[in-house]
Amino acid sequence: MYKQGLSINTTTADVTPTSNQSGMLLMAGAMLLLPMMDAMAKLLSTNLGPGQIGFVRFLIQALILSTAVISTRQLCPMPAKARVKTALAGAFVAGTITSLYWSLAFLPLANAIAIFFVEPLLLTLLSAWVLREKMSKERLIAVLLGLLGVLVVIRPNWDLFGWVALLPLLAALFYAAHLTVLRSITATLGSLQVQACSSAWATVLLGGGIMLGGNNQTSIFTWAQPSPRAWCLLLAIGLLSAISHMMITQAFKRIQASVLASFQYLEIISATILGYVLFQDFPDILTWLGTLIILAAGSYVFYTERKRSRIIPETAGR
């Protein structure tokens, strides 16, 4: 989902029918990959902690993205202030994945993803508070309606699963904070380089958590020896994560973001299908109602933000 991506000032590039088609195919493919990674993490959560899954994922992602940055000569000098912000962004994205993967150990896949879709609304609030961006009454109303949709989704899940129903909301808050930090540095640095650096920091931080967690027997960060099947799933998550990031980056280079925005909703569809096929989970009426409210509010905020400031998401990959 627009889980959500970096934001930069974008100019309209030369667009051809071929680039339009390839851009849409890349975006659609990436939106189908994201729930696949979440489904693999849910499968792994029966034996491995979310910190361990996130650590391996970010390690592989950082190695692949760093190689891509170097090979394409996108490496730029990073000022000290930007390095600090990138480290902070890495901490937030580590919190994002740990919270989301933790929730997947308990919640149905589609339900967790639906709650996470509140992220762009939280990003709007954080941008107004931290970056002092102006927010109209209409956008504030849309945000409040989206949060109401979250409550609609959370309530039945709270009754069934308890406090863990709040973990996707915590993950969304972490990711909104991650993007708020990155907004101030992506205008001067390539998004791929920033993603590679933040992934590296997330790897270091989660690795430290696992070292400390192993001594304290903390279930979130303990390290368990993966089986050969688990190693295959872990490697697949890291590989697909890096591929999806690069696919989305290329998609936004080929076609306008306003066209690609609706493709984000493929993630809910694919998450629902995977949840039903792999785990026999299917969202109830209240979950669908809340999801529709969240998506409608998020779409309104996206289009008004684009109209107001011409700032658009460059990537929807988390």
Which of 58-62, 113-117, 264-268, 303-307 is most confident? 58-62
Q: Is the dihedral of CA 5, 9, 14, 17 positive or negative?
A: positive
pLDDT of residue 41: 97
Contact predicate 257/27, CB 8 Å: no
- Listed by start position, the domains of the chain span 7-117+167-283
At 5, is the pLDDT very low, low, confident or very high (cuts 50, 70, 90)?
very low
Burial 210-247 (b: 16+ CB within 10 A, else e): beebeeeeeebbbeeebeeebeebbeebbbbbbbbbbb
From the list 187, 194, 188, the residue with the least C-alpha distance to 312 is 187
Q: What is the mean pLDDT of residues 270-277?
A: 91
Q: What is the mean pLDDT of residues 76-95?
A: 88
Given a cut of 70, whether residue 157 has pLDDT beyond it is: yes
Q: What is the mean pLDDT of residues 202-206?
A: 97
Tens digit of pLDDT for each residue in 103-148? 999 999 999 998 998 887 888 788 777 766 677 777 788 888 888 8
- Report the chain's mean pLDDT, rounded to a whole number: 82
Residue with the larger pLDDT of the pair 277 and 262: 277
pLDDT of residue 147: 84
Q: What are phi and psi of 253, to 5 degrees?
A: -80, -20
pTM of the model: 0.85
d(CA 23, CA 250): 7
Given a cut of 80, whether residue 52 has pLDDT beyond it is: yes
Given a cut of 90, whether residue 9 has pLDDT beyond it is: no
> 76 is written with which tokens?
């730029």
pLDDT of residue 55: 97
What is the share, in percent, of the chain residues with pLDDT greater than 90? 36
